[in-house]
Amino acid sequence: MNEAAKKKLLQMIPHALYVLTSQAHDKTAASTMSWVNQASFKPPMISVGIKKDTFTFEVVKESKAFVLNYLGEGQKDIAQKFFKHVEPLGNTLAGEAFGPSPHLKFPVFPNMAGYLECKVTHIVDSGDHAVVVAEVLEAELGPASGPLLLTSTGWSYGG
Amino acid sequence: MNEAAKKKLLQMIPHALYVLTSQAHDKTAASTMSWVNQASFKPPMISVGIKKDTFTFEVVKESKAFVLNYLGEGQKDIAQKFFKHVEPLGNTLAGEAFGPSPHLKFPVFPNMAGYLECKVTHIVDSGDHAVVVAEVLEAELGPASGPLLLTSTGWSYGG
């Protein structure tokens, strides 16, 4: 394997940044994600690569559902807050106010570019991330202009 | 479901353009793809959303392997050639010369930005596209500068 070529080509796949939220029993998860892809038109489906050894993956496996909050341009500082584990404090997560999504009642951040409410249909548990395939149940736009492209942040996550 | 919001948010997910090739027995497939995502670091894995009612999906299901050729900036005209079914003519596909990839011996286009040779590990067959999860076996860079971003072409594939 040409490791340098593999790294460069995997980093060439374009990605944006999102904050995924989920809840199961008394657990609330909120994490920055970037490996998101459309998976079907009818029904509308997406796939998300979620790191397996994380609290967020544990909660998603249990709840079989999540909300994908789209970060807007210029919301890099918010993306950074959700790299580490955060616990809700009242109706805030990492200082960001949230409300309940319409069906799942999972955290939605009203100042972002919008969100998708999703129900998990399949989990492919093969590498260090799981490929979580989900159907989109509901969608709503927010006031921010999206997406927040990974390339615009100077960070990389891939390779 | 807010259909307009769903469409806008799904189209907000960034994508690039690639030509996926595969072979099984006497069949050769080559199709433009855009729903590509990284799926794991260790081992290196990707996922590709492949339309299910296509010749290319039929060949990938049979061969359980493919090559993902990365289109470069300015290769929109090549992307367009592989929207429709093409059959090889000597060592060309749609007028584009190809050679064999190192392990699989599937078509590689030497003028693009590079390629990944991949072995399929899982196929999630739920919507109108299958989520094909695969391990990267080999990678090589080409002379073109990539990626060819979908947004740069004026086309859309998502929503």
> Could you read off the pLDDT of B91-132 as tens digits, one per residue?
999 999 999 999 999 999 999 999 999 999 999 998 999 999
DSSP-assigned letter for residue A55: H
Closest chain A residue to the Cα of B136, Cα to Cα = A6
Residues of A in contact with B40 (CB under 8 A): 49, 126-129
- As given in the structure block, the two tokens for residue A64 are 């079989």
Phi/psi region, residue B107 (left: phi>0; alpha: psi -120 to 50; beta: rest), is beta
Residues of B in contact with A10 (CB under 8 A): 38, 44, 46, 116, 136
For CA atoms B93, B23, B85, B76, give the dihedral sign. Answer: negative
Asked if pLDDT for residue B69 goes beyond 90, the answer is yes
Alpha helix (H) residue ranges in B38-132: 55-63, 76-81
Q: How far apart are the CA of B20 and the nearest CA of chain A, in angstroms? A: 14
Q: How far apart are the CA of B87 and the nearest CA of chain A, in angstroms? A: 27
Q: How confident is the model at residue A101 (pLDDT cuts 50, 70, 90)?
A: very high
> Could you read off the pLDDT of B24-46 as tens digits, one per residue?
999 999 999 999 999 999 999 99
Nearest to A94 by CA among A83, A102, A110, A106: A83
Cβ contact A39–B45 (<8 Å): no
> Could you read off the pLDDT of B138-157 as tens digits, one per residue?
999 999 999 999 999 999 99
Closest chain A residue to the Cα of B51, Cα to Cα = A40
Q: Quick count: other Cβ atoms within 10 Å of Cβ B4?
A: 11
Tokens 């999906």, residue?
B57
Residue A2's pLDDT is 97
Tokens 């960070």, residue?
A155
For an interface test with A, the pick among B12, B152, B153 (most A C-beta atoms closer than 10 Å) comes out as B12
Q: What's this model's pTM, rounded to 2 decimal places?
A: 0.96
Distance in angstroms (rounded) separating the CA atoms of residues A1 and B112? 19
List, in sequence order, every beta strand (DSSP E) within chain A: 18-24, 27-33, 36-40, 45-51, 65-70, 92-93, 96-97, 99-100, 107-108, 114-124, 129-141
Cβ contact B40–A10 (<8 Å): no
